[in-house]
Structures are given as C-alpha cells and as structure tokens.
Amino acid sequence: MLEPFTLPFVQRALIEVLILAVGAGLLGTWIVLRGIAFYAHGVGTASFPGLVLAEGLGFAAALGALGTAGIFAIGVTALHGRRRTGYDSLTALVLVGCLAIGVILASDVFRSGASIETLLFGSLLLISWQDVAIAAAATVCAVAGSLVLGHRWMAAGFDPESATALGLRSKVPEFVLLALIALATVSALSAVGALLATALFVVPAATTRLWTSRMRSWQISTVALVAVEATAGLWLSVKTDAPPGATIGVLAGVVFAAAALTRALPNQLRRHAPVAASLALLAIVGIGCGSSDAGSNAAASGSAAPIVVVAATTQIGDLVTVVGGSEVKASTILKPNSDPHDYEPRPSDVQATADAKLVFVNGDNLDAWMEKIVNESGSDAKTIDLSLGLPVKLPGESEGAGASKFDPHWWHDPTNAEAAVLEIRDSLVAVDPSAKSSFDANADAYLRKLAVLKASITACIEKIPSADRKLVTDHDAFNYFATAFGIELIGAIIPSQATQAAPSAGDLAQLSKLIESENVKAVFPESSLSPKLADAIAQQTGATSKYTLYADTLGAAGSTATTYLTMMAANADAVVRGLSGGRQSCSIAGL
C-alpha cells in the first residue's frame, strides 16, 4: 500500500510538501485571519511577467517570479494608504497591471516560446533539490516572521481602528507579512502552480478555523492538516495516476466541505462524524488501492520485455510506435486531448520516463519541459533531440535569450519526418541490436508511405493556381508546410506561441488589409485553439475559416488525424479545400 513512496521522485515530492506544509500552514492561518486570500492567490499569478522577463533576458525563472512577487507586495502595501480603495480592489488592480505587462511582454516584446506556462503550472512530481531548498528557506522565514511579528499581525487584525494608538503605525510588519506570503507562494509555484497554491495556503487553514478558537492550536492543526492532505493527495495521485496538484486541491476541498457540513449538522448527528470520517478515509484508501498502480506497469521489466521509450509529443510518439513495433513500449507525454500549456504530468508519465531507455524530444524549445521530466524523474535514459539532424531548418521567430534559433514545427515537412524516422530507427537499433531487422523493415515500410504522402500532397497543391496558394494561419506553425509545398505564407493571427500572448488591433488590421489586397481565400483556425479570432478575420475580409488545421498535436481519438500520416493528409485536404474555395479536395489513399 505504501509502495508509491518507494519511488525516488515521489519521495522528493513528499519531502517538498512536508516542508511546504509548515510554511503554508503557518502563513495560511494569517492569510485566513486577516482575510487576504486574494492577495495570496494574486501574488503567485502575478509572477507571469517575471517569468516572461526571465526567459526573455535569460536569468533564473525563480528570480523573475520572486522579483515580480516583491513588486506586487510593495505595490499593494504602498497603495493601501489610500483609504478609499479596499484591499481587495487594490489587489485586483495590481494583479491586472502585472498581467497586462506580462501579456504585452510576451506578445510584443519577446514573442516568447511556450515554456512559461509550464512554470506557472508546476508539478510536485518534478521537484528539484533546488526547489526543495527554496521551499525550506521560505518556510524558515515564515516561522521566524510568525514568532517575531505574530503579536502585531494579530493586533492589527483585531482592532484596525486602534492601530495607531496601539503603536502599530509602522507599515513594516504588515509589509513583512505580505512579503513572506509572496516568498512562500512563489516557492510553491514549482510544486502546485499559481492556480492551485491556495489549495495549500488557504483551504486547510479555513478548514481548521472551523474547529479552533485559538491561534496556537489553529496553527498547529493547520500545519498538520496540510501535511496530511498533501501526503494523502500525493499517494492517491500515484495510485490513480492523476496529477498530484489537482488531486490535493480536490481532497482539500472535500475535507473543507465535510468539516463545514458537520458543523452545520444538529448535535446528535454530529456525534457520528468520527464514524463518517473513518468511512471517508476508507473510501479514499479503497479508491487508491482499487486502481491500477501507475508505477508497477512500467516497472515490471523482464529480460524479454520491450524497450521502454518515451516520446514528448504526439507526432513523435506515433513515429516511434510505428518504427518500434512490438519490440518497443512507447509512452507519449503530451496527450492529443490536453493542451500543452495547462499540462501537469501524470505519475505514470514520470514513472515511464524514469524507466525509459530512450527519450525522443522535438527540440527547438517546443518541449523544453521534457528536460525537467528526464532530470527530476531520476531517469538515466538517453535523450535524442530529433531537431538536430534534420535536412530542412527554417529560422525561428521568437526573440529573447530563451528563444529558439529555429522554427520548431519541423514535422510539417515530410522530408524532415523521413530523417526523424531514420534517427529513431538508428537509436532503437543502438539499444537493442538484436531487433535490427524488425526496426529496419518497419522504417522502410513507413518511408515508402511518407514518399506517397509527400508526392500526393505536392500533386494536390499543384492543382491550385499558384496565385491562390496563400496561407494565413492561427499561429506561426506552418512555415515548413508552406515551404515544402510551395505555398506563400501571408501571415498568422497570433504573434507568438504563448497562449497568454494576444494580437494587437494594429496587427490584425494590417493582416486584414493584406488578406484583402492579396486576395487570400481562406484563414485557417487550429484544432487546439479557439477559432474566434480566425472567424472574425474571415468575416471581415470575406475569406473562409471553415477548415481547421492540426498544428501542434495529432487529433484526438475519433478524429480523422490520429496518426502522423492522417494528420498531414487532413491538413493538406483542409488547405486544398480552403484555397480552392471548397471546389477541390485532397484525399490520399494507401496510408
């Protein structure tokens, strides 16, 4: 039952949450007592511009986040002198200011890559020892601050009108409280992310508040509750293969709801609360033990077992599965179902990476987060960056120190896919030479299909008059496709790959004029993004936005684009239909 805690990355996660529990539990009581939950939530979210800057200028992300959080704390403290704006409105205003700056930095200054979102999200399973050290430092500061300044924090909340008379004129203790919360929240970002930090910092303290009437007992019970909830959530998440942050969040919410309901019950029913609590605990253990253990599947390795391989993206996963055949057990980290930006790895992903012999990544910054999974899972797998040996490389458009030199969407050119298939084949052979003949045969068969694909798409596109071969897409993902098949790229609606990035009215107006003057027939939304902007541009310019392209991932199960080949065929068909005004189509047989 306790086997999840034998996994090294789970052990590190446990150490992290137990350390965080002290700081988060302690500060949580002050957050709830002083009613500043919004601040606690906002200060983590506001680290966005700091992360963009850190990536753009090339310094440590933690530093960027801490810097912004510090500015946030100073901003709220400084503005709070104005009596006519309440603390909560101020927090909202400072937060909006920070986020607006972040969006502008990401959209118009650095045109950053997508790796920021993973930082905002965070995962308990990918904690580094550096993260643990930062959490420990934040916790020590929180304990020291509480011991020294607790009386002042308490008095200021008890009787704010008398604050001056009580000698609480100095703003320093209040600022220290906000700064400590900022430090602790930011230190928890890498573990639970900005949106779920409140699951550690607010919800448990609110739960214990229902049952305690004194500060000391409240603080102790909160620290204990955070530790218990986090440990149970971690255990449950490994057992059910769910993301730990969200599991802890739901668990904390359920415990709060149960506590609040119990309090609302009449006394004679409340006596049964311990029984109900034990039943609930049994249910949790039941859920955990009833589900298949995420860790054990991959760990069961015998001598004749297939090679365990991890692919970062869906299209690479497909190529690896095809080339490896039955000799390879391939896992794909990104699911076609989930947006890469709000993705928190599941325990099985981390476990698979830990057990893997080979890890294939896309490279060029598209999946920079994969490096973290490989490092923190304790994997000794060989990482193969498929972008390194490609015949066709186009320049990247991102700016800033963290930006990639090359456009990462190389797989949209089948010539590159051919090179990737060869690279995958050779890497697999190097690991298991005995299966060479099988890998060779699989790769050769697939290369023939790729040749068919390439020839067919070329033929389809050639039927479109060259004056009509003009492409406008949602974001800049189709350079390789356009270059490979002789299509002119007019522009893209979203100026950057970060989802927080947004276009400007000026850019869109320019693009609209371009679409009209170039007489572009179609604007293509993407399967994983909202089509609204593409629709609006289409409506304004008279182009169509009916046809959707698969840009960053394969289609979900049930769609027509579940493999690399069908995805490419679907894109070609959409492009042909769009550019020909629906008069032509492109169906490719033999895939």
Partner 1 sequence: MADGIHVAAALGWLTDPWSQPIMVRAFVEVALLGVVGGALGCWIVFYELSYGAESLAHSIFPGLVIAALLGLPLLLGGALGVLVAAVAVFLAGRIEKIGRDTAVAVVVTSLFALGVLLALSPDSPPGISGLLFGDILGVTDSDLAMAAVLAIVVLVTLRLLHGRLLAVGFDRSSAKGLGISATIVDLVLLMLLALAILVAVQGLGNLLVVAVLVGPSATARLLTNRISSMMAVAVAVAVASGIGGLYLSYYAKIATGASIAGVMVAVYLLVALISGLRNRSAMTPNSATT
Partner 2 sequence: MGARAVRLRGFEVARGARESVEKPTGGGASVATEPAPLAFTRDLSVGYGGPAVIVDVTFNISPGDRIGLLGPNGGGKSTLLRALLGDLAPSGGVINIDASVAALPQTERSRLDYPVSALDVALMGTLSRLPWWRRPGRAERRQALDALATVGLGDLALRTFGELSGGQRQRVLIARALVQDARLLLLDEPFSGLDAQTSERLMTLLDELASQGCGVIVATHDVEQVQRWDLVLCLNHHQIAFGPPATTLTSKVLEATYGGSIVTVPGDGDGPSRVILPPHHHDHG
264 is an interface residue for partner 2 by CB under 8 A:
no
Is residue 215 within the footprint of partner 2 (CB under 8 A)? Answer: yes
Adjacent-strand bridge partners of 331: 310
Choose among partner 2, partner 1, none what residue 161 binds, the Cβ cut-off being 5 to 8 Å by kind: partner 2
Tokens, residue 26 = 């302690």
**325 conformational bin, left if phi > 0, alpha if psi -120 to 50, beta if neither:** left
Return the number of the residue (208 or 387) whose C-beta is nearest partner 1. Answer: 208
Task: Mark the segment that binds partner 2 (CB under 8 A) among 87-95, 153-161, 369-377, 394-402.
Answer: 153-161
Per the DSSP assignment, residues forming a β-bridge with 473 are 492, 524
Helices (H), 241-368: 244-264, 267-270, 273-290, 294-299, 314-324, 347-355
- Given its phi and psi angles, is residue 145 left (phi above 0), alpha (psi -120 to 50 degrees) or beta? alpha
Please say which residue, 227 or 384, places its beta carbon nearer to partner 1: 227
Q: Tell me which residues in 457-516 interact with partner 1 (CB under 8 A).
A: 501-509, 512
Taking a C-beta distance cutoff of 8 angstroms, is the pair 86, 79 a contact?
no
Letters for 539-578 (x = contact with partner 1 by CB under 8 A, - = none) are: xx------------x-xxx---------------------
Which of 52, 32, 48 has the alpha carbon at shortest distance from 40? 32
Query: 95, 125, 294, 522: which one contacts partner 1 (CB under 8 A)?
Result: 95
CA dihedral 236, 238, 244, 248 (to 10 degrees): 10
Q: Compute the least distance from the CB of residue 451 to partner 1, in Å.
A: 30
CA distances from 429 to 301, 426, 515 (A): 19, 5, 49
Of 15, 18, 99, 277, the one binding partner 1 by CB under 8 A:
99
Binding segment for partner 2 among 208-216, 305-313, 370-378, 542-550 (CB under 8 A)? 208-216
Segment lying near partner 2 (by CB under 8 A), choices 156-164, 399-407, 507-515, 576-584: 156-164
Our measurement of the distance from residue 165's CA atom to the centroid of its chain's CA atoms, rounded to an integer in Å, reads: 49
Considering only 47, 247, 348, 427, the residue that binds partner 1 (CB under 8 A) is 247
Asked if residue 475 lies in contact with residue 496, where contact means CB atoms within 8 angstroms, the answer is yes
226 touches which of partner 1, partner 2, none (CB within 5 to 8 A by kind)? none
Stretch that binds partner 2, among 186-194, 210-218, 262-270, 525-533 (CB under 8 A): 210-218
Q: Which stretch binds partner 2 (CB under 8 A): 141-149, 199-207, 224-232, 523-531?
A: 141-149
250 binds, among partner 2, partner 1, none (CB under 5 to 8 A by kind): partner 1
Q: From 302, 309, 297, 299, select the one nearest 439 (Cα to Cα).
A: 309
CB atoms within 10 A of CB 407: 22
Can you give the length of the chain in residues?
591
Q: Which of 80, 88, 212, 385 binds partner 2 (CB under 8 A)?
A: 212
Site for partner 2 in 29-48 (CB under 8 A): 33
The correct pick among 51, 168, 177, 188 for binding partner 2 (CB under 8 A) is 168
DSSP state string for 147-168: HHHHHHHHHHHH-GGGTTTTT-
Q: Which of 11, 170, 510, 530 binds partner 2 (CB under 8 A)?
A: 170
Instruction: Report the sign of the C-alpha dihedral through residues 310, 311, 314, 318, in that order.
Output: negative
Task: Give the full edge-to-edge strand order of the sheet including 358-361.
Answer: 328-332, 307-311, 358-361, 382-385
Other residues' Cβ atoms within 10 Å of the Cβ of residue 271? 10
| Closer to partner 1 by Cβ: residue 41 or 409 | 41
Q: Which stretch binds partner 1 (CB under 8 A): 103-111, 170-178, 476-484, 564-572?
A: 103-111
Residues 242 to 261 in contact with partner 2, rule: CB under 8 A: none
101 vs 500: CA distance, rounded Å: 11
- Partner from partner 2, partner 1, none binding residue 268, C-beta < 5-8 Å depending on class: none
83 binds partner 2 (CB under 8 A): yes
214 binds partner 2 (CB under 8 A): yes
Interaction between residue 254 and partner 1 (CB under 8 A)? yes
Determine, following the binding rule CB under 8 A, whether residue 155 of this chain makes contact with partner 2: yes
- DSSP-derived secondary structure letter, 528: T
Q: Is 173 in the site for partner 2 (CB under 8 A)?
A: yes
Partner touching 144 among partner 2, partner 1, none, CB below 5 to 8 Å by kind: none
φ/ψ of 204, rounded to 5, equals -65, -40
Which of 5, 87 has the CB closer to partner 1? 87
Measured from the CB of residue 482, what is the shortest distance to partner 1 in angstroms?
24
Interface positions, 341-360, toward partner 1 (CB under 8 A): 342, 344, 346
Whole-number minimum distance, CB 337 to partner 1, in Å? 5
- Residues in CB range of 537: below 8 A, 6 or more apart: 472, 493, 508, 511, 512, 515, 523, 543, 545
**Terminal-residue alpha carbon distance, the chain:** 46
| Contact status: 295 vs partner 1 (CB under 8 A) | no
Residue 157 · residue 34 · CB < 8 Å: yes
Q: Which residues pair with 384 in a beta bridge?
A: 360
Least distance in Å: CB of 178 to partner 2?
A: 15
- Written as six digits, the tokens of 250 are 């739901």
- Residue 330 CB, nearest distance to partner 1 (Å)? 18
Q: How far is CA 130 from the centre of its chain?
A: 20
User: In the numeric block, which tokens belong to residue 416?
Assistant: 């590159």
Residue 1 CA to residue 238 CA, distance in Å, equals 11
Select from 37, 66, 366, 575 the one that contacts partner 1 (CB under 8 A): 37
- Residue keyed to tokens 């709801």: 257
Residues 3-32 that bind partner 1 (CB under 8 A): 31-32
Nearer to partner 1 (CB atom), residue 191 or residue 586: 191
Q: How far is the CB of 32 from partner 1 (least distance, A)?
A: 5
> Phi/psi of residue 170, each to 5°?
-65, 135
Q: Binding residue for partner 1 (CB under 8 A) from 8, 35, 167, 274? A: 35
Q: Which is nearer to partner 1, 385 or 518 (CB)?
A: 518
Positions touching partner 2 (CB under 8 A) are: 33, 83-84, 147-152, 154-155, 157-159, 161-168, 170, 172-173, 209, 212-215, 218
